[in-house]
Chain A
Amino acid sequence: MSDFRTLQKNSRKECDGAKVSVCIMGDVATQFLAQAVKGYGYECNLNLNITDIDYNQIDMQTMDADSELYESKSDYVLIYMSAEKLYEKFCHTDISLRDKFAEMQVEYIKEVHNRINSNVNSKILQFNFIEINDGVFGSYSNKVPVSFVFQIKKLNYLLNEYTVTAKNVFIIDLSSLAVKYGYDFILNEKYFYSAKMALSIEILPHVAKSVIDVIKAVSGSIKKCVILDLDNTLWGGVIGDDGLGGIQIGELGAGHAFSDFQAYFLELKKRGIILAVCSKNNEDTAKEPFNSHPEMVLKLSDIAVFVANWEDKASNIKYIKETLNLGYDSFVFIDDNPFERNLVKSVLPDVTVPDMPEDPALYLSYIRSLNLFETASYSSEDISRTEQYQAEIGRKSLEASYSNIDDYLQSLEMQAEAKAFDEFHYSRIAQLTQRSNQFNLRTIRYTEADIEKISKDDNYLTIYFTLKDKFGDHGLISVVIMKKVDNETLFIDTWLMSCRVLKRGMEEFIVNKMIDIAKKNGYKTVQGEYIKTPKNAMVEKIYSKLGFHDNGDNSYTADVNAFINNKTLIKEI
Chain B
Amino acid sequence: MTKSEVMEKIKEILNDLFDDDFDVTESTVADDIDGWDSLAHLQVISAMESGFNIHFTLGEINNFANVGEMADSILKHLG
A219 at the interface (CB under 8 A from B): no
A32 at the interface (CB under 8 A from B): yes
Indicate which residue in B17, B38, B45, B58 contacts A189 across the interface (CB closer than 8 Å).
Answer: B58
CA A195 to CA B58, docked complex, whole Å: 11
Known: A190-B56, A190-B58. A195 touches B46 (CB 8 A): no
A193 at the interface (CB under 8 A from B): yes
Closest A residue by C-beta to B16: A5
**Residues in chain B near residue A191, CB distance under 8 A:** 42
**Residues in chain A near residue B62, CB distance under 8 A:** 194
Indicate which residue in B19, B39, B58 contacts A32 across the interface (CB closer than 8 Å).
Answer: B39
B61 at the interface (CB under 8 A from A): yes
Contact assessment for B43 and A190 in the assembled complex, using a CB-CB cutoff below 8 Å? no
**Residues in chain B near residue A197, CB distance under 8 A:** 42
**Residues in chain A near residue B43, CB distance under 8 A:** 5, 201
CA A513 to CA B17, docked complex, whole Å: 56
**Residues in chain A near residue B56, CB distance under 8 A:** 190
A31 at the interface (CB under 8 A from B): yes
Closest A residue by C-beta to B49: A190
**Residues in chain B near residue A201, CB distance under 8 A:** 42-43, 46
CA A193 to CA B19, docked complex, whole Å: 28
**Residues in chain B near residue A195, CB distance under 8 A:** 38-39, 42
Contact assessment for A190 and B45 in the assembled complex, using a CB-CB cutoff below 8 Å? yes
Known: A190-B58, A194-B58. A31 touches B39 (CB 8 A): yes
Query: By the criterion of a CB under 8 Å from any partner CB, how many residues of chain B are at the interface?
Result: 12
Q: A residues 180-206 with Cβ under 8 Å of B?
A: 188-191, 193-195, 197, 201
Find the residue from B38, B46, B62 having the highest chain A CB count within 10 A. Answer: B46
Interface of B (DSSP majority class): helix
Interface of A (DSSP majority class): helix
Contact assessment for A193 and B58 in the assembled complex, using a CB-CB cutoff below 8 Å? yes
Closest B residue by C-beta to A35: B39
CA A201 to CA B62, docked complex, whole Å: 18
Interface string of B49-70 (1 = CB under 8 A from A): 0000000101001100000000
CA A9 to CA B39, docked complex, whole Å: 15
Closest A residue by C-beta to B62: A194
CA A197 to CA B39, docked complex, whole Å: 10
**Residues in chain A near residue B17, CB distance under 8 A:** 5
CA A32 to CA B39, docked complex, whole Å: 8
Closest A residue by C-beta to B60: A190
CA A322 to CA B42, docked complex, whole Å: 52
Find the residue from A9, A190, A193, A201 having the highest chain B CB count within 10 A. Answer: A190
Q: A residues 188-237 with Cβ under 8 Å of B?
A: 188-191, 193-195, 197, 201
CA A194 to CA B45, docked complex, whole Å: 12
**Residues in chain A near residue B39, CB distance under 8 A:** 31-32, 195
Contact assessment for A194 and B61 in the assembled complex, using a CB-CB cutoff below 8 Å? yes
Q: B residues 7-48 with Cβ under 8 Å of A?
A: 17, 19, 38-39, 42-43, 45-46
B70, chain A: closest CB distance, angstroms:
14
Query: Can you pick out 24 interface pairs between chain A and chain B where the beta carbons lie within 8 Å of each other?
Result: A5-B17, A5-B43, A9-B19, A31-B39, A32-B39, A32-B42, A188-B46, A189-B58, A190-B45, A190-B56, A190-B58, A190-B61, A191-B42, A193-B58, A194-B42, A194-B58, A194-B61, A194-B62, A195-B38, A195-B39, A195-B42, A201-B42, A201-B43, A201-B46
Chain A contacts to B: CB under 8 angstroms: 5, 9, 31-32, 188-191, 193-195, 197, 201
Going nearest first, the 7 A-B pairs with the smallest beta carbon separation are: A201-B46, A190-B58, A193-B58, A31-B39, A195-B42, A191-B42, A194-B61
